[in-house]
A and B are shown apart, each in its own frame.
Chain A
Amino acid sequence: MRRVRAGSAALTVLAWAAALLLAFPLLWALLTSFKSELEALEFPPHFVSFHWTLDGYRAVLADGEYFRSLVNSLVIAGGSSAFALALAIPAAWALAFAPTHRTRSILLWMLSTKMLPAVGAFIPVFLFYRDWGLLDSKLGLLLLLAASNLPIAVWMLFSNFREVPGEILEASRMDGASLPQELAMVLAPMSLPGIASTFFLIFTLAWNESFWTLNLTTAQAAPLTAFIAAFSSPQGLFWARLSAASILSIAPVLVIGWLCQRQLVRGLTFGAVK
């Protein structure tokens, strides 16, 4: 028994070492964000015995660009996720509670649209957006990201709704509930956890999306991904500022991601791994 315990202690230490190693780039960025620019570039580097300062954060926040990008990210990720849910909840209701001989092929077709690489759709979307004045617009990105996350939303909600007993919905129907009432007042409250985790997962995906957001925006609608990408110019030499901007850009979804990591597996594998 003692050997087993010693073995699992060693494995635990090893697991912690591996996990810290994997998270190290983020921990290092967190430390660097509290350094002065001078100390950030110092060689050999200091781990904790440096002069802690908020100058990096102050520099990022003093620049109005950060707040505009933050608002754009919130609008684009939040709006696209809300819009995707508005389409996905009715669709998932139909697929879960009113199945037909076509349900299966509709679900698999939706999945297959997710397989279309963004570069395959990029050129028509770009030209169409250019002609319709949707380039560098939050609305354009919002619609695009809603469509791109729609299959994931439908699949996640579908597997959630199927755990709701259909009799309850039928009973509400017999009591005279209209379809909108059935969806909003019976189904939604019962599957609120599933709807919330679906929202957070597609919100995270939209927040981090870095093909469309970089290619379809220039200034007005540029979200945080574009704000950070601008650091690839010589500005990237300001390591403390780059680190502070990075931490400020990833913190919100990092927290959300930690909260709904369990749904992540189901959502991103379309229920194929449980």
Chain B
Amino acid sequence: MTARAVAKRKPAYLRKHGQILVAPAVIMLLAFSLAPLIATLRFSVTDYRLLFPDVTGFVGLANYRNLIANPDFWPALVNTILLVGFVLASTVAVGLGLALLLERAVVGKSVLRLLVISPFFVMPPVSALLWKNLLMQPVSGFFAWLASMAGVPAFDWFAKAPLLSVALIVAWQWLPFATLILLTSLQSFDRDQREAATVDGASSTSIFRHLVLPHLARPIAIVVMMETIFLLGTFAEVLVTTGGGKASTNLAFLVYSQAMLQYDIGAASAAGIIAIIFANIVAFFLVRAVGRSLEV
């Protein structure tokens, strides 16, 4: 066969094999995302309780109406928004400051990065329990010692402000992510441009406002969207610290407690759909943002 014949055959060869090779991954994702999504939708309009498995039937939007009337629902929704909002605001603001600092630091850059990135690799139950016990415990925790040094009474974190306590722990876990991404894009910032601006007599604040911040707008948007997707699912931190309780229950925990503690599959599925809708609003923008940088 001549090279030319092979080249001619190429498109068909690639098309055929390409379809075969991409198929297993597509099937796997269909099975574990689209199929459960459809099933959740179906359960959410069904009367389905694990204690009475025989009584099932289409109930329209009754589960959603019950969910909205459920006294646990609105606090869970508000808690979810507060948790996500607090963590986003604090990780982006502190992460930006930290990234600017790390970029300027001159000694021990790689060790600095290791220290800063570490909390991201800690599994949620570990960070939640270490914070709750070693740091926030009001009798012999480290923060209680700091308070005693400052001469103020120790704060009982989980009794007085359970949601804030959980939010602080989650923010600590996600701060490295925001910092690392902002640092990476700061380092790709065109140094020539900055030097040219300095030579032209621009002050460092105006360089920051007119050159650096616009350059960071996109990575900040990506951080906000990625974190939102993950934060909507915050679960383990709530489970191991407060074990629910109205003050710290979020949507993810509500789904869990409706299904696993109340055995109400229909209501849990309706709550799950609400969580999906929230995630999808964010996902819409995220997929568009990623799609713009994808050259295919």
A binding-site residues for B, Cβ under 8 Å: 8-9, 11-12, 14-16, 18-20, 22-23, 25-26, 28-29, 32, 41-45, 87-88, 90-91, 93-95, 97-100, 103-104, 106-108, 110-127, 143-144, 146-148, 150-151, 154, 170, 173-174, 179, 204, 207-208, 210-211, 214-215, 224-226, 228-229, 231-232, 236-237, 239, 242-243, 246, 249-250, 253-254, 256-258, 261, 264-265, 268-274
Contact = CB atoms under 8 A, between A and B. Distances in A.
Nearest to B228: A115
Interface in B227-259: 229, 232-233, 235-236, 239-241, 243, 251-252, 255-256, 259
Contacts of B17: 94, 98, 179
B71 interface: no
A254 B236 CA distance: 19
State the main secondary structure of chain B at its contact with A.
helix
Contact of B272 (A9, A90, A123, A256): A123
B265 interface: yes
A268 B226 contact: yes
A98 B18 contact: yes
Given A23-B118, A237-B133, 12 more contacts: A15-B104, A19-B115, A97-B18, A107-B296, A108-B287, A116-B37, A119-B271, A151-B29, A215-B256, A229-B125, A229-B240, A249-B126
Contacts of B126: 228, 246, 249-250
Contacts of A41: 140
Contact of B112 (A16, A100, A215): A16
Interface string B71-104: 0000000000000000000000000001001101
B141 to A, nearest CB: 9
Contacts of B69: none
A174 B3 CA distance: 8
Contact of B130 (A226, A243, A274): A243
Contact of B40 (A106, A120, A228, A269): A120
5 contacts: A12-B104, A14-B101, A91-B22, A99-B18, A208-B124
A122 B259 CA distance: 9
A90 B287 contact: no
A19 B123 CA distance: 19
Contacts of A154: 25
Interface residues of B, number: 113
Nearest to B110: A258
Interface in B128-177: 129-135, 139-140, 142, 144-145, 148, 172, 175-177
B62 interface: no
A254 B122 CA distance: 7
Contacts of A45: 140, 142, 145
A127 B260 CA distance: 11
Contacts of A242: 129-130, 133-134
Contacts of B133: 236-237, 239, 242
State the main secondary structure of chain A at its contact with B.
helix
B113 A261 contact: yes
Contacts of B116: 18-19, 22-23
B115 A273 contact: no
B199 interface: no
B45 interface: no
A1 to B, nearest CB: 14
Q: Considering residues A8, A120, A229, which has the most beta carbons from chain B within 10 angstroms of its beta carbon?
A: A120
Given A44-B148, A272-B293, A115 B286 contact: yes
A123 B259 contact: yes
A127 B234 CA distance: 22
A214 B239 contact: yes
